[in-house]
């Protein structure tokens, strides 16, 4: 029989072990978040794409205190109405860049994405086992990773994470105070990124969940009120109802095909993004198994199932939605698998300590791999660890400025946003990376045919008075390949600039004779 002192020693030893395990669990999650932050710290490889236009738009909004309602950057369709559904993100990007430079945008993104995964971990931390939560968050991040660039959607991820945090706290801890904040969050969301429609959708799933679980009427009524207020909050944007409906209408007049809007089936057929799609498919199998486990345990997972189905369908339809799916994946499957009872030997204190330490070792390997850029190579990504800002098309633009080459310019879709950033308002672009800002006819009858049909090129190049061509020569579209091959041999145009990002052709006119004499590149070699 234990004496009082002996019993006290056993109790103290037990709590010491418990405290060690609890600290290891917290340490494992913190270490995982550190690893995710390291992985998110990579070069701004999208420099030639949308970020430049976001910065220029943010500058215009900040200086004019108004939000442009038309396609003001292009000379081809300048009066076309345009709904800017991420203007607030652009203002934030502009101010950060103005205060601290482009590298600060990478740091802002890293902090935001780390907060995102910290929120979803906190949402289910007390309801999940570490052995389930740790790999779930890690696999979710691997699926998510391709969307970890500096984009307005990083704020969507932050708001989505808070919605999940609030909903899970309300469902599992009966803490409704976070739900009351959601209508306010939605006001910021609707002005930051087009994913804002997800907020009301998740609350609707929660209402269905509560109906099935037959929660008390006052609780259901509170949730219904929050849902209605959140829905009304979507109207608080510069375009009111049109802005609120933008997620449902934006693709109806999308005249240009971009990779991130394609389905996994389309990209698989073309052999594009194989590693990312494979990770998604693996995660989808695990997600399905997790719900089989949850249903076998007769868990009330209506919200979880609807959310999983919603994000899965979005990810299958468009790979740009991998970020949403990867974010929601972690907490959902961690909740489902945490109901499993592990074998007795795995529930012992030494086994748990071993699991935690193994997790820490794995995360350390991941951090070292990221710092040495091995992770990015394995993921088949052009990203590199660090705060590198590639030059992109900057040298080509400097050539245009230094030699005072005047437009109009004919540019390709991908590089338009960079030209807006560096040349507007002195020069406007032919097109930029916003299909919704241009008509379908513009792409189908003008932009693409100009690159494939010499007669159409001749007609519109004269009509628009095009003086020079500025192309990102890594444009892999068949029409761009055809155009570059043809114009390189066109005697009416001279190649005067070429680097590893851009190529410039100028029209042979008396006014351009001096430039051609100085810079013409012999295309016969």
Q: What is the tens place of the pLDDT at every residue in 278-335?
A: 999 999 999 999 999 999 888 889 999 999 999 999 999 999 999 999 999 999 999 9
DSSP 197: G
Distance CA 51, CA 65 (A): 20
Cα angle at 130 between 155 and 136, to 5 degrees? Answer: 50
Cα separation, 480 vs 380, whole angstroms: 24
Residues of the chain with pLDDT under 70: 1-22, 269-271, 345-347, 523-525
pLDDT score of 523: 62
Bridge partners (DSSP) of residue 322 are none
- What is d(CA 439, CA 437) in angstroms, rounded to the nearest whole number? 7
What residues form DSSP beta bridges with 471? Answer: 503
Q: Are strands 493-498 and 502-507 parallel, antiparallel or unpaired?
A: antiparallel
Structural tokens at position 345: 């030997």
Q: In what order do the strands lie in the sheet with 468-472?
A: 409-411, 468-472, 502-507, 493-498
> Looking at the DSSP assignment, which residues form a beta bridge with residue 505?
469, 495
Angle between helix 130-144 and helix 102-124 axes, rounded to 10 deg:
150
Report the percent of the chain where pLDDT is more than 90: 73
Asked whether the bond before 226 is cis by omega within 30 degrees of 0, the reply is no
The CA distances from residue 460 to 44, 158, 427, 442, in Å, are 35, 44, 18, 12
Q: Residues 6 or more apart from 449 whose CB is under 8 A from it?
A: 456
| pLDDT for res 48 | 78
pLDDT of residue 440: 94
Q: Tokens representing 278?
A: 């494979």
Structure tokens at 113: 């994405």
């Amino acid at each position: 029989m234990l004496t009082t002192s002996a019993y006290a020693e056993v109790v103290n030893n037990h709590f010491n072990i418990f405290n060690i395990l609890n600290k290891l669990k917290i340490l494992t999650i913190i270490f995982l978040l550190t690893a995710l932050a390291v992985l998110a710290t990579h070069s701004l490889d999208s420099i030639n794409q949308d970020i430049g236009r976001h910065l220029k738009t943010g500058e215009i909004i900040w200086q004019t205190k108004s939000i442009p309602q038309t396609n003001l950057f292009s000379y081809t369709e300048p009066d076309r109405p345009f709904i800017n559904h991420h203007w607030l993100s652009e203002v934030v990007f502009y101010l950060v860049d103005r205060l601290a430079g482009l590298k600060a945008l990478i740091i802002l993104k890293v902090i935001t994405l780390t907060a995102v995964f910290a929120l979803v971990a906190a949402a289910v931390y007390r309801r999940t086992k570490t052995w389930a939560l740790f790999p779930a968050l890690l696999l979710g991040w691997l699926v998510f990773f391709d969307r970890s660039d500096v984009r307005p959607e990083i704020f969507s991820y932050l708001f989505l994470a808070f919605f999940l945090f609030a909903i899970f706290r309300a469902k599992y801890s009966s803490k409704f105070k976070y739900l009351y904040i959601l209508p306010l969050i939605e006001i910021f969301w609707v002005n930051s990124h087009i994913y804002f429609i997800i907020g009301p959708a998740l609350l609707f799933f929660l209402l269905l969940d509560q109906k099935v679980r037959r929660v008390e009427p006052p609780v259901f009524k509170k949730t219904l009120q929050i849902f209605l207020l959140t829905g009304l909050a979507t109207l608080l944007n510069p375009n009111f109802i049109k802005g609120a409906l933008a997620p449902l209408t934006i693709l109806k007049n999308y005249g240009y095909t971009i990779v991130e809007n394609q389905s996994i089936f389309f990209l698989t057929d073309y052999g594009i993004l194989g590693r990312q799609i494979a990770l998604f498919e693996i995660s989808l199998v695990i997600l399905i198994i997790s719900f089989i486990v949850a249903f076998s345990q007769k868990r009330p997972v209506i919200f979880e199932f609807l959310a999983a189905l919603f994000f899965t369908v979005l990810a299958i339809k468009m790979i740009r939605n991998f970020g949403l799916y990867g974010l929601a994946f972690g907490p959902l499957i961690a909740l489902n698998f945490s109901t499993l009872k592990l074998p007795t030997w795995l529930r012992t204190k030494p086994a748990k300590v071993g699991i935690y330490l193994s997790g820490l070792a794995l995360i350390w390997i991941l951090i070292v791999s990221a710092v040495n850029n091995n992770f990015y190579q394995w993921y088949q990504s052009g990203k590199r660890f660090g705060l590198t800002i590639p030059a992109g098309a900057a040298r080509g633009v400097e050539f245009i400025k230094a030699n005072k080459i005047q437009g109009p310019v004919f540019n390709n879709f991908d590089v338009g946003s960079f030209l807006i950033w560096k040349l507007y308002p002195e020069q406007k672009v032919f097109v930029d990376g916003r299909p919704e800002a241009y008509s379908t006819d513009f792409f189908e009858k003008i932009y693409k045919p100009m690159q494939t049909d010499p007669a159409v090129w001749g007609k519109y190049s004269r009509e628009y008075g095009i003086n020079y061509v500025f192309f990102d020569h890594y444009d892999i579209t068949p029409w761009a390949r055809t155009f570059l091959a043809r114009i390189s041999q066109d005697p009416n145009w001279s190649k005067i600039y070429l680097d590893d990002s851009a190529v410039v052709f100028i029209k042979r006119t008396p006014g351009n004779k001096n430039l051609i004499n100085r810079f013409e590149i012999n295309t016969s070699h």
